[in-house]
């Protein structure tokens, strides 16, 4: 998804030099395609979309491209920056956005391709959560229309095993009782985040941050846990789509199988897994002590 700081130095400069224009042009094509597809969406169709659609029943029948989409097309058509996710991985989320947009889209991470995600959800809400305040400033210089927040995590990657054991013994982490905002007892709950993070019911959640490639990095344990809690606590209709990147890494894979559940995994391509998680009220046999 996002161009990460650890990936900014190419391992094979010659390969990237040969391929540097391919993916940015494809991304521009994605955005142009989204504009074309949206032009055929009727007002009545919006009643079948995301949870925010109920407040937009008077949406215009004829669609026109948004300024951010036009900006994104120009940006990627003239850029040599390669997005973190590859074509097949991006396509998974794009296919869902084609059906669910306009919707509420939460993205853990901020990068050069964030403008793409915003433009693929026109008239929806897309926000980005980023651990590095300086990186937020850097990205927003080129894309000031993005809605991004710097956030602080209270975990470290080296604590992953202890956090998993903690969840199994802390009642405030159990799925039957778990909540996010102000849940200081559960170390996996994301606390101290912007109110908009807690107050919005998210239709799509992309987890491609925070960093998780060295011991002192925050790791994605809390992001995965919190996404699972928000999906289970959903009050609106339909499932919550959760996209997790870097599943080739042990911690991401272990925590995904513990909280997002193999039975809700609907597609996997490359290093990306796509889950469709129903609210707990729609689960046939909800477990009060385990998520899966």
**pLDDT tens-place string over residues 109-129:** 998 889 999 999 999 999 999
Q: How far is CA 69 from CA 4, 74, 83, in A?
A: 23, 9, 17
Q: What is the pLDDT of residue 148?
A: 97
Domain 81-282 in CATH 3.90.330.10: no
Q: What is the pLDDT of residue 75?
A: 56
Q: What is the pLDDT of residue 288?
A: 76
Summary mean pLDDT of the chain: 82
Q: What is the pLDDT of residue 105?
A: 98
CA distance 122 to 106: 14
The mean-pLDDT minimum among 99-103, 138-142, 145-149, 270-274 falls in 138-142
CA distance 241 to 266: 10
Burial category of 60 from C-beta neighbours within 10 Å (exposed 0-12, middle 13-18, buried 19 and up): exposed
What global pTM score does this model have? 0.79
H, E, C per residue of the chain: CCCCHHHCCCCCHHHHHHHCCHHHHHHHHHHHHHHHHHCCCCHHHHHHCCHHHHHHCCCCCCCCCCHHHHHHHHHHHCCCCCCCCCHHHHHHHHHHHHHHCCCEEEEECCCCCHHHHHHCCCCCEEEEEECCHHHHHHHHHHCCCCEEEECCCCCCHHHHHHHHHHHHHCHHHCCCCCCCCCCCCCCCCCCCCCHHHHHCCCCEEEECCCCCCCCCCCCCHHHHHHHHHHHHCCCCCCCEEEEEECCCCHHHHHHHHHHHCHHHEEEEECCEEEEEECCHHHCCCCCCCCCC
CA distance 192 to 182: 7
Q: Which residue has the higher pLDDT, 191 or 53?
A: 191
Q: What is the pLDDT of residue 281?
A: 85
Q: Are 174 and 206 in contact (CB under 8 A)?
A: no
Residue 54 CB partners (closer than 8 Å, separation 6+):
47
CA distance 208 to 186: 22
Question: Which of the four pLDDT bands, split at 50, 70 and 90, describes residue 34?
Answer: low
Percent of the chain with pLDDT over 90: 64
Q: What is the pLDDT of residue 11?
A: 40
**pLDDT tens-place string over residues 123-170:** 999 999 999 999 999 999 988 999 999 999 999 999 999 999 999 999
Q: What is the pLDDT of residue 48?
A: 39
CA distance 90 to 23: 10
């Amino acid at each position: 998804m996002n161009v990460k700081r650890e990936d900014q130095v190419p391992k094979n400069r010659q390969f990237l030099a040969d391929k540097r224009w391919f993916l940015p042009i494809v991304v521009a094509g994605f955005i142009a395609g989204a504009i074309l597809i949206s032009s055929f969406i009727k007002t009545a169709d919006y009643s079948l979309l995301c949870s925010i659609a109920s407040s937009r029943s008077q949406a215009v029948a004829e669609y026109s491209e948004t300024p951010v989409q036009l900006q994104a097309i120009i940006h990627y058509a003239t850029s040599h920056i390669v997005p973190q996710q590859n074509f097949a991985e991006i396509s998974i989320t794009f296919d869902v956005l084609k059906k669910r947009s306009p919707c509420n889209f939460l993205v853990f991470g901020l990068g050069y391709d964030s403008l793409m995600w915003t433009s693929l959800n026109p008239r929806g809400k897309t926000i980005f959560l980023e651990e590095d305040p300086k990186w937020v400033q850097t990205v927003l210089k080129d894309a000031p229309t993005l809605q991004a927040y710097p956030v602080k995590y209270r975990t470290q990657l080296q604590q992953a095993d202890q956090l998993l054991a903690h969840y199994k013994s802390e009642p405030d982490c159990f799925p039957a009782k778990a909540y996010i905002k102000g849940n200081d007892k559960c170390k996996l709950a994301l606390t101290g985040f912007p109110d908009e993070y807690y107050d919005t019911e998210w239709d799509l959640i992309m987890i491609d941050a925070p960093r998780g490639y060295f011991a002192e990095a925050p790791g994605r344990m809390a992001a995965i846990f919190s996404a699972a809690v928000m999906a289970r606590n959903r009050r609106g209709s339909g499932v919550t789509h959760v996209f997790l990147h870097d599943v080739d890494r042990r911690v991401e894979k272990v925590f995904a199988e513990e909280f997002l559940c193999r039975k809700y995994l609907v597609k996997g391509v490359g290093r990306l897994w796509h889950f469709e998680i129903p609210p707990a009220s729609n689960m046939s046999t909800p477990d009060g002590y385990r998520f899966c």
